[in-house]
């Protein structure tokens, strides 16, 4: 028996670990953490770093989006590469001149809503969760008569880039699906940001956010349910942000199953 096993002390709260992925009740060996806990931490840290630097596979994502039968456009921010993107957040919030000219030249005037799929700080999140979420949301919006603009893939993008994309497309609402900053137990969290009448210069307080969309966090049906509610209310009340609260009714099991099956 190793010296660590001889001195390992279990934590009395260990039963609580089934409720959370947080690092709680790890036990101890003398005054230190057990070796396995240290190794798990290093693995999680490496996965978070990989998520930040992973490039979004635009071609593969475009192929998966073909199922929605909507135009797909691709843009980039003014951050020329990942290194500049990480050092200059301001450049990630602004479209390149070429991308801005491309979007303003499209004939999509008057679309009700535009969706932007952006790498953000975790391309992994977009690759894993954007398509299942859209599969739950788009058919319902189309059934309700919403005019959907092109799906825009954005590279080296920050949240505010969605406002510029929506403005260039003259969309009434823009929904930004973007990889969130990785956590040590969540390298693939998808964030959803919703802005009414998007335009450059919008403040964070003028957007709504739905966070941590992934099977281990907020499920696709729950996220879709909240987003559909906020979109409807945003259009009716002509606003987003601090004036628009998530007062969506509870998600019933039948609705959740329908959203999951889409």
Which residues are documented as binding site for adenosylcob(III)alamin?
159, 180, 209
CA distance 48 to 90: 23
Q: What is the DSSP letter of 19?
A: G
Known binding residues: 159, 180, 209
Which residue, among 174, 197, 172, has the nearest Cα to 112 in the 3D structure? 172
CA distance 164 to 115: 12
Where do the H-state alpha helices sit in the chain?
A: 3-7, 35-53, 58-65, 82-87, 89-92, 97-104, 123-143, 161-168, 220-237, 253-261
CA distance 115 to 173: 9
Residue linked to tokens 């002509």: 238
Rounded to a whole number of angstroms, the distance between the first and last alpha carbons of the chain is: 53
Q: What is the separation of C-alpha 143 from the centre of its chain, rounded to a whole number of angstroms?
A: 24
User: Which pair of structure tokens corresponds to residue 124?
Assistant: 């992994």
């Amino acid at each position: 028996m190793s010296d660590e096993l001889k001195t390992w002390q279990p934590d009395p709260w260990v039963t609580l670990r089934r409720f959370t992925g947080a690092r709680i009740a790890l036990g101890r060996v003398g005054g230190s953490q057990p070796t396995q806990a240290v190794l798990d931490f290093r693995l999680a840290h490496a996965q978070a770093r990989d998520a930040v630097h992973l490039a979004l596979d635009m071609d593969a994502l475009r192929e998966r989006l073909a199922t929605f039968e909507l135009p797909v456009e691709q843009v980039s921010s003014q951050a020329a590469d990942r290194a500049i993107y990480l050092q200059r957040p301001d450049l990630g919030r602004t479209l390149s001149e070429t991308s801005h000219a491309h979007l303003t030249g499209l004939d999509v005037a008057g679309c009700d809503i535009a969706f932007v799929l952006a790498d953000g700080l975790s391309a992994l999140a977009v690759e894993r969760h954007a398509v299942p979420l859209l599969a739950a949301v788009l058919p319902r919006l189309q059934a309700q008569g919403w005019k959907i603009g092109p799906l825009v893939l954005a590279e080296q993008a920050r949240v505010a880039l969605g406002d510029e994309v929506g403005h260039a497309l003259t969309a009434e609402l823009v929904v930004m699906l973007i990889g969130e900053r990785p956590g040590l137990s969540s390298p693939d969290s998808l964030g959803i940001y919703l802005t009414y009448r998007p335009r450059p210069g919008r403040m964070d307080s003028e957007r709504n956010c739905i966070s941590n969309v992934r099977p281990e966090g907020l499920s696709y049906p729950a996220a879709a349910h909240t987003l559909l509610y906020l979109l409807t209310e945003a259009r009716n009340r002509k606003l987003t942000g601090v004036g628009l609260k998530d007062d969506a009714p509870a998600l019933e099991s039948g609705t959740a199953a329908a959203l999951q099956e889409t």
